[in-house]
Amino acid sequence: MVMQKDKILKLFYTEHLKVKDIAGIIKVSSAYVTKIIKIDSRYEKEKNFRKEKSKEKRRLEQNNFIKQKRENKKIEDNYAFVQEQHKQASQELSKTRKFSDENYRKWNSSAYKYNPSRKRYEFDEQLGRSYDVPKYVKER
């Protein structure tokens, strides 16, 4: 009986096991284990230690939860932005509507250079231009 009590105290205070786990190992009731550990002088100190450890664990889990939530929100926002860009590009490139010179210039911006003296965007002739590609697009 004394050895059993010593084993309970060792498991609780040294190994920091839970009452339920100790009861399962020694095959006694949880109430008996609780009764034994509450008698010991180290009980309050261990109780406070476990409380602080639990607080720290909760704080870390909450921080991880918030971080994950922010990351998911960022991904969702980026996805929505890309979807909106795709929708806009699809409308601009749609064959059901006439493709304006300005939309063409925006879509193919690397082919046009701004000429400030004439206040217009001019096509880079080195790229080779077909007849339906505008030579220049006036600034709005």
In a domain, 8, yes or no: yes
pTM higher than 0.75 = no
In a domain, 71, yes or no: yes
In a domain, 48, yes or no: no
22 alpha carbon, distance to own chain's centre: 38
Give 133's pLDDT tier (boundaries 50, 70, 90): confident
Average pLDDT score over residue span 30-58: 94
Give 134's pLDDT tier (boundaries 50, 70, 90): confident
Give 136's pLDDT tier (boundaries 50, 70, 90): confident
In a domain, 49, yes or no: no
If asked whether residues 114 and 135 sit together in one domain, one would say yes
Question: CA-based angle 136:139:140, to the nearest 5?
Answer: 140
If asked whether residues 88 and 105 sit together in one domain, one would say no
Average pLDDT score, the chain: 89
Tell me the three state secondary structure of residue 115. strand
In a domain, 70, yes or no: yes
If asked whether residues 93 and 124 sit together in one domain, one would say no
In a domain, 87, yes or no: yes
If asked whether residues 86 and 102 sit together in one domain, one would say no
- Six-digit token string for 97: 């509507």
If asked whether residues 63 and 93 sit together in one domain, one would say yes
Q: Which H, E and C letters describe 7-53, residue by residue?
A: HHHHHHHHCCCCHHHHHHHHCCCHHHHHHHHHHCCCHHHHHHHHHHH
If asked whether residues 105 and 140 sit together in one domain, one would say yes
pLDDT value of residue 98? 66
In a domain, 46, yes or no: no
Number of H helices, E strands in the chain: 5, 3
pLDDT value of residue 126? 87
The residue segments making up the domain with residue 33 are 1-40
If asked whether residues 31 and 64 sit together in one domain, one would say no
Number of separate domains in the chain = 3
If asked whether residues 36 and 5 sit together in one domain, one would say yes
Give 74's pLDDT tier (boundaries 50, 70, 90): very high
In a domain, 84, yes or no: yes
Contact 30, 19 (CB under 8 A): yes
- What distance, in Å, lies between the first and last C-alpha atoms of the chain? 94
